[in-house]
Structure 1
Amino acid sequence: MSSNKAFFERDGDVGFLTIDAPPLNLFDRELFAAVREVIERARQEQVRALVVRAKGKVFTGGADVHVFDGLQGEAARRFVEEILGVTHAVEDLPFPTVASVHALCLTAGLELALACDLIVAAESAQFGLVERVVGLTPLMGGTQRIAERAGPARAREFVMTGAILPARTLHEWGVVNRVVADHELEAATLALARDLAAGPTRAHYATKRIVRAVVDEGVRAADALTPALGEEVFGTEDLRQGVRAFLEHGGPGHARFRGR
């Protein structure tokens, strides 16, 4: 790695993208680049689930404001394209991704979490897209992904007011998938990630693509994509083994998926 601000680890089929840029895990250009490197490493390592987490007292205090200083014109456009590319790289991974969020999670860190398939939050976690404090709006995809999960009215209010909201509120909105006791966050996230990694990885990827299609283009567009995806999944070793195990044992719970 070119930076120690984010690093890759794996435990069996589960990979980990860990942010470690004390004291506040602020997103500067170096951290953005390091996160992008870890995402690519996870793809190359062919893990079957990825957990995005952070060390320290907070998940992140947000973006390092120094990265915005003096940005204008084409340089500003290129910067936004680069950070949106991080979001897209996470979303395009061919396996499930889970953000594990504790304490404070602001701006770029929340946008990274929103790029994941699922978000597990500690009960004391707080979230905000507070770019308004420097005269900015979220540019890593946060606004549109809050709107996707919680609806446009909530997205406008959340971003325009710069509110910092608790995990329970974002769970009620459908932004956060699970809220757990602070001391259970690591174990709960790992259990979920291991369950996903032990599942039919290519079927999970088909699920991701169907959901993306329905969000982007509507139900009929997802319907149009489904037959080809079904053909792909029917060709997997996991499906063949899963069907045989179900029939031989008279029910579920006996298949051992390998992600192939």
Structure 2
Amino acid sequence: MSEDRPLLLTRDGPLAVLTLDSPPANLFDSAMVRAWSAAVERLTARPPRGLLIRAEGPVVSAGVDVTLFRDLPAEEAAAFWAGQLATVRALERLPCPVVFAAHSLTLTAAFEIALACDLVVATRSARFGLVERRIAFTPAMGGTQRLAARAGTARAAELVLSGELYRGERLAEWGVVNALLPVATFHDDARAYAARLAEGPTRAHAATKRVLREFGDGGVEAADRVLPELAGELAATTDHRRAVAAFIASGPEHETVYDGR
């Protein structure tokens, strides 16, 4: 399946790929914002087993088109940003691994979306920033708090208050970027990285995401409350039963093919 620019949604077996394709800067203008919301709605209605978010062109995204701020009436701003945050939260709740691939400049809205993904891969030289201070604003799609969850409040304050750009290598040191991939093969490597997750035990991945979400919302106690039921549900899945039998027969390096059920 594919959509017209500025955002392309395709499916490759169990993996869905969402590509920013609005040259030259992949700006989050009104068209991109609408396309992004619609794409997440489609993914929610028909979840894949894995999702890769990537971009075409020399930059991932130069961020939000500043004219959007100019044209947005102040009395409508709260509702508008509530809608954008709702889309980000829906992305987080997809029951599959979500990988964001950043090969170069990734600013504001795009970076906030990356922070809502389960895993981020990047090149060492990719540059990231939440630079809203330059228009006397604050990240309004949840980037500040999600950066704090990954790297701590002091790091989040440093990045957002300074408005500086940080390389992928630095953010890997902070725990924000999960893997650094070479520039020459970045797009192929990122797809392979996401495909491996999409081909895995989908129901188990969904349970892991739920546990982590409960932990983020309410700590260990909240995660503990939901875990027994999740484990009971997983015990009945085809993938679990098949993997247990393969483990007993062939050991931990068994090559079970999962079908997501």
Q: Deviations over 1:135-180 (max 9, x none)?
A: 1000000000110000001111110110101001111111110112
Counterpart for residue 11 of structure 1: 12
Counterpart for residue 141 of structure 1: 142
Counterpart for residue 216 of structure 1: 217
Structure 1 position 82 matched with structure 2 position 83: yes
The aligned length equals 260
Unaligned runs of at least 5 residues, structure 2: none
Measured after TM superposition, the shift of residue 229 of structure 1 is 0.9
Counterpart for residue 152 of structure 2: 151
CA distance in 2, matches of 1:42, 1:147: 27
Measured after TM superposition, the shift of residue 54 of structure 1 is 0.7
2:227 counterpart SS class: helix
TM-score by length of 2: 0.95
1:42 counterpart SS class: helix
CA contact (8 A) 1:32 1:86 kept: no
Measured after TM superposition, the shift of residue 238 of structure 1 is 0.8
Counterpart for residue 100 of structure 1: 101
Measured after TM superposition, the shift of residue 132 of structure 1 is 0.5
Measured after TM superposition, the shift of residue 45 of structure 1 is 4.2
Residue 208 of structure 1 aligns with an amino acid whose one-letter code is: K
2:32 counterpart SS class: helix
CA distance in 2, matches of 1:251, 1:102: 34
CA distance in 1, matches of 2:77, 2:47: 34
TM-score by length of 1: 0.95
Measured after TM superposition, the shift of residue 75 of structure 1 is 0.6
Q: Which moved more, 1:43-52 or 1:22-31?
A: 43-52
Counterpart for residue 246 of structure 1: 247
Residue 256 of structure 1 aligns with an amino acid whose one-letter code is: V
Q: Which moved more, 1:39-48 or 1:49-58?
A: 39-48
CA distance in 2, matches of 1:3, 1:14: 19
Residue 166 of structure 1 aligns with an amino acid whose one-letter code is: R
CA contact (8 A) 2:44 2:90 kept: no
CA contact (8 A) 1:39 1:90 kept: yes
Counterpart for residue 110 of structure 2: 109
Q: Structure 1's 223 and 107: CA in aligned 2 closer, same or farther, altered over 3 A?
A: same
CA contact (8 A) 1:246 1:254 kept: no
Over aligned residues, Cα RMSD in angstroms?
1.5
Counterpart for residue 124 of structure 1: 125
- Structure 1 consecutive aligned stretches of length 4 or more whose deviation exceeds 4 Å: none
Unaligned runs of at least 5 residues, structure 1: none
CA contact (8 A) 2:3 2:9 kept: no
